[in-house]
Structure 1
Amino acid sequence: MARLEILGLPLDPVDMEEALLRIGGFLEEARTHQVVTLNPEMAVRAQEDEALRRAVLEADLITPDGVGILWAARRLCGVVLKERVTGVDLTLALLRRFPGLRVYLLGGKPGVAERAAREAERLGAKVVGFHHGYFREEGPVVEEIGKRAPDLLLVGMGERQEAFIRRHKPHLGARVALGVGGTLDVLAGEARRPPPWAQRLGLEWLVRVGLDPRRWRRAPRLWRFAYLVLREGR
């Protein structure tokens, strides 16, 4: 199916299996492919953040991350998507589908990427490097990643990650670069995913916002997303 458009941003109408097949093809090609998991908050930020918008527009694969994206696709495009393809689920699925995948982990507080690397290896990956996300100079970090030339680069740097990948794509040396948000915290045991019932109902975001006061300031973006979709769909 052709790409959809959500609030001026592209979206690939893929389920998990289709996303894995696409990424499997990327892993066979000798260039860096950027994968974005688009959620409502990111869609709102991209309305004003040009660097983020360009990253999404130029990405090789954009998956639906969030029940709000599924709702928007149905309302704006008349397309019923099968399922969400979130950053954490896609990461775990990739590690299971491609055992021995050469992985570099970037992001999180000092120590988080290292612990996440141990879990990734337990799941079958071959970790070729890791680095925390608290750095000022990007050049040395990009150079290190380029030397390691991973199959898969996991970048968990919050709002910075998509623009970081796009900005340095020619020098990363990775086959696939994926922005994964808090996935490294999950792998490291720093954060636990919401219970399975919340995952099944697509309510992970609501549980996270409700339990973590640090996320409360981000909630208005979710309501703005709903407003923008309703306004565009009139």
Structure 2
Amino acid sequence: MTDAKTEAARTAAAAAPRRLFGVVVDPLTMDETVARCLTAVRDRERLEIGVVNAAKLVRMQRDPQLAAAVTGCGLVLADGAAVVWAARLLGTPLPERVAGIDLFMRLLGEAEAAGLSVYFLGARPAVLELMLHQVARRFPALRVAGSRDGYFADAERGAIADEIAASGAQLLFLGMTSPRKELFTGGYAERSGALLVHGVGGSFDILAGITRRAPERWQRLGLEWLYRALQEPRRLGGRYLRTNTRFIVMTGQELVRRRAAGHATRGQG
């Protein structure tokens, strides 16, 4: 009985959400995430997915609106390797990175197999067209309820959500940058009628062949950010340097704070 209780306690601890920099992150593997998404659609439970990486966690510290949109999602996942490393260092380990584009591709395959309808919102018109062509080639039986490019005014968001609702789409993928995708999710996901909403960022560009994704070796080393920066050094180089530096500082400060809290607790005991 004791062994059973111990194992149950370990299982519960492994499943418990992790708190990082004030954000609750769900400790799920990719397979567990996909299963959770499919269960939500099957049970007609609306599920909004938020993802965090180092840059977004830094930005959330100074952008309350973005922070509220992300933390308001039903699932918050570690999209960046740096987040997984920081969680391990801080004593709140996550099982693995759940990259947004990998989840996107998995869900497209599952939607095709289950006959679920999808809607794509985001990217430039030409990129969206190329992406839709690739989707049709890779997932020929996928039911595409509709699509629209991401170049619209904030005042149009309500009307676009109504268009998505009218399409009957069950899964909505947002190929927009932060914080636009998070703000759309936070303000209009329910109005869209979609059961599953996933902001996939630049995944439309990658699937369209406009942006190259880092090779698997770079991904395993957690260097996707560097690969992207090398592709667009003038636009991304300085930004990544600043956010990565700030994230390292944040992690160090949090580590010191947690150790101090641990010493204080032991001192009281």
Does residue 24 (structure 1) correspond to residue 38 (structure 2)? The answer is yes
Runs of 4+ deviating beyond 6 Å: none
Query: Contact (CA 8 Å) 1:117, 1:127: kept in 2 or not?
Result: no
Aligned residue number for residue 103 of structure 1: 118
1:224 partner letter: R
Cα distance in 2 for residues equivalent to 1:51 and 1:25: 29
Q: Deviations over 1:76-130 (max 9, x none)?
A: 2342x33211111111111223323311111111222222122223332211111
**Equivalent of residue 226 in structure 1, options 234, 248, 251:** 248
Aligned residue number for residue 158 of structure 1: 177
Q: How many corresponding residue pairs?
A: 233
Query: Contact (CA 8 Å) 1:154, 1:177: kept in 2 or not?
Result: yes
Q: Deviations over 1:192-224 (max 9, x none)?
A: 111221122221111111221221242111211
Aligned residue number for residue 76 of structure 1: 90
**Equivalent of residue 168 in structure 2, options 149, 152, 163:** 149
Aligned residue number for residue 209 of structure 1: 229
**Any idea what SS the aligned residue of 1:83 has?**
coil
1:31: how far off? 4.4
**Any idea what SS the aligned residue of 2:151 has?**
coil
Aligned residue number for residue 167 of structure 1: 187
Query: Contact (CA 8 Å) 1:153, 1:176: kept in 2 or not?
Result: yes
Aligned residue number for residue 19 of structure 2: 5
Q: Deviations over 1:126-181 (max 9, x none)?
A: 11111111111222211111111312111011011111111112201101100111
Share of identical aligned residues, percent? 37
Does residue 121 (structure 1) correspond to residue 121 (structure 2)? The answer is no
Cα distance in 2 for residues equivalent to 1:153 and 1:167: 14
Does residue 134 (structure 1) correspond to residue 151 (structure 2)? The answer is yes
Q: Higher relative contact order by CA 8 Å / sep ≥ 6: 1 or 2?
A: 1
Cα distance in 1 for residues equivalent to 2:173 and 2:80: 19
**Any idea what SS the aligned residue of 1:103 has?**
strand
Query: Contact (CA 8 Å) 1:27, 1:175: kept in 2 or not?
Result: yes
Aligned residue number for residue 53 of structure 2: 39
TM-score by length of 1: 0.94
TM-score by length of 2: 0.82
Query: Contact (CA 8 Å) 1:5, 1:77: kept in 2 or not?
Result: no
Query: Contact (CA 8 Å) 2:157, 2:188: kept in 1 or not?
Result: no
RMSD: 1.5
Query: Contact (CA 8 Å) 1:95, 1:123: kept in 2 or not?
Result: no
Cα distance in 1 for residues equivalent to 2:176 and 2:37: 21
> Larger % of helix: which?
2
Does residue 189 (structure 1) correspond to residue 205 (structure 2)? The answer is no
Aligned residue number for residue 4 of structure 2: none
